[in-house]
Structure 1
Amino acid sequence: MPSTDRRLQPRRKPRQVRAELTRDRVLTAAAHVFAEHGYASGTTNRIAERARISIGSLYQYFPNKDAILAELLVRHIDRGTWTQAEQLDLSPGSLEATVRALVGDAIANHRDDPQLLRIMIEEAPVSQELLDTIARHERKRVDQVRDLLARHPDVHIQDLDPAAELIVFTVETNTHKLMAYPRTTPVETFENELVAMVTRYLRGDQ
């Protein structure tokens, strides 16, 4: 169940540029601290020190590190939009390139810091804001994919709504798993296999 615990809610929503910059410094510092020291040892004191502010100033914005991590995850999800969706070539024979753009964008959105991504997956408390952000992001990405499927001449799937949802879930879930828990398989190999699988599905290959 989503938490309505006020411990997860930021204490202060900045209204001035200076306050917003300070809040951003806290979040940036927290990302580095969690990645370097792990979540258990990533204390608010360490975060404040890294952000070069007093612990009292940090608590003006966040009540604890759970609230900071929850905000980091919300921001991570909000950044994950498919930026190439409006610039793709949808001519016949371009389906594999379209799928590769989708998979490549998902990988790029999670490539920066595998350790932090793993911490966000394992440790971030589930809040209503987080669930709302996930739902909003998923709906937007599914709508983008469905629109492309409807316009692409190489797609031979009859029911596009579940197809778009299935593709987004498959790409996002597998990408999260790969980037958060790196294995010996090169990222390029994973990308090629995922692209091939989704492309065959959309073409209706038997």
Structure 2
Amino acid sequence: MPSADHRLTPRRKPRQVRAELTRERILTAAAHIFAEFGYAAGTTNRIAERARVSIGSLYQYFPNKDAILAELLVQHIDRGTWTGVDDLDLSPGTLEATVRAFIRDAIDNHSDDPRLLRVMIEEAPISQALRDTVDRHTRLRTAQVREVIVRHPDIRVGDPDIAAEIILFAVEINTHRFMAAPRATPVEVFEDELVAMVTGYLRGGR
């Protein structure tokens, strides 16, 4: 990622419950506005009106709508969870089910609102908080995938570190693109195809 823009840093860090609730109300309103009107027409005035706060109050928390969208993406990433490795059955013959658990987590993490997801993917600027969040989750999820690779008896790959990065990238990028786009293909079909691709790679298919 390119260097973060300091203009995207939120202005006010809430220290009281009421202030935190106001901040969350602004973010919730922004999510609805961006999904309904798109990013260009999703103005701070519309966000403030939907949040029932003055435009001055909004600017106490966020300097502009870019900072609001960047924070929404940070929250989106932080809400995403993956099945813990200790919750998986890694016995022989379970590879496809293991892969499906990871892919279903990725799908579930992107299933809330495809319109908002599309806006975040296409328009979200890079804040320092976003850089830090992406780095933290990438390290965590790559480590989870790598642990499965080294522990599962059915997996045959040359380099567990590279394989973990490849799998994470493939699952995240394809899931983002599929879930954010208008589609006629059922999500179950997408899931089955992605499971088949990743499972085949991990079994040593070339």
So what's the TM-score if we normalise by structure 2? 0.95
Question: How far did 1:158 drift?
Answer: 3.1
The C-alpha deviation readout for 1:151-185, integer Å capped at 9, x for no partner, is 11111123100000000000000000001113322
Deviating more after overlay: 126-135 vs 166-175: 126-135
How many angstroms apart in 2 are the aligned matches of 1:177 and 1:85? 26
SS in 2 for 1:40: coil
Match of 2:145 in 1: 145
Unpaired runs of 5+ residues, structure 2, are: none
Aligned residue number for residue 74 of structure 1:
74
Any conservation in 2 of the 1:84–1:101 contact (CA below 8 Å)?
A: no
Equivalent position amino acid for 2:14 in 1:
P
Partner SS state of residue 40, structure 2: helix
Percent identity for Structure 1 against Structure 2: 72
Task: Indicate the residue corresponding to 2:134 in structure 1.
Answer: 134
Match of 2:3 in 1: 2
Q: Does 1:25 align with 2:54?
A: no
- 1:25-174 alignment, distance < 5 Å: 25-174=25-174
- Distance in structure 2 (CA, Å) of the matches to 1:85 and 1:115: 32
**Structure 1 portions without partners, runs of 5+:** none
Residues 24, 87 of structure 1: alpha-carbon distance in 2 compared, 3 angstrom cutoff: same
2:67–2:127 Cα contact (<8 Å) kept: no
SS of residue in 2 equivalent to 1:66: helix
C-alpha contact 1:106 1:175 (8 A) present in aligned 2: yes
- Equivalenced residues, count: 205
Q: 2:146·2:161 contact (CA, 8 Å) conserved in 1? A: yes
What amino acid is the match of 2:132? D
1:200 counterpart residue number: 200
Indicate conservation of the 8 Å contact 2:83/2:101, yes or no: no
Separation of aligned partners in 2, 1:159 and 1:21: 47
Higher mean Cα deviation, 10-19 or 169-178? 10-19
The 2-side partners of 1:64 and 1:116 are apart by 18
1:18 CA drift (Å):
1.5
Letter in 1 for 2:165: E
> After alignment, is 114-123 or 44-53 more displaced?
44-53
Are 1:185 and 2:185 matched, yes or no?
yes
User: One-letter code of the match for 1:46?
Assistant: R
User: 1:98-146 CA deviation, whole Å, 9 max, x = no partner?
Assistant: 0000111001100111100110111111223222221111111000111
SS at match of 1:41: coil
Read off the aligned partner of 1:111 and give its amino acid letter: S
SS of structure 1 residue aligned to 2:15: coil
For residues 27 and 169 of structure 1, the distance between their equivalents in structure 2, rounded to whole angstroms, comes to 28
Shift of 1:84: 4.4
Q: String of CA shifts for 1:29-69, please: whole Å, max 9, x gaps.
A: 10011101111111111111111222111111011111100
Q: Which amino acid aligns with 2:194?
A: L
Q: Distance in 2 between matches of 1:83 and 1:17?
A: 31
One-letter code aligned to 2:71 = E
Counterparts of 1:144 and 1:125 in 2: how far apart (Å)?
28
What RMSD over aligned residues (CA atoms) do the two structures have, in Å? 1.3
1:81–1:137 CA contact under 8 A, matched in 2: no
Which residue identity is paired with 2:65?
K
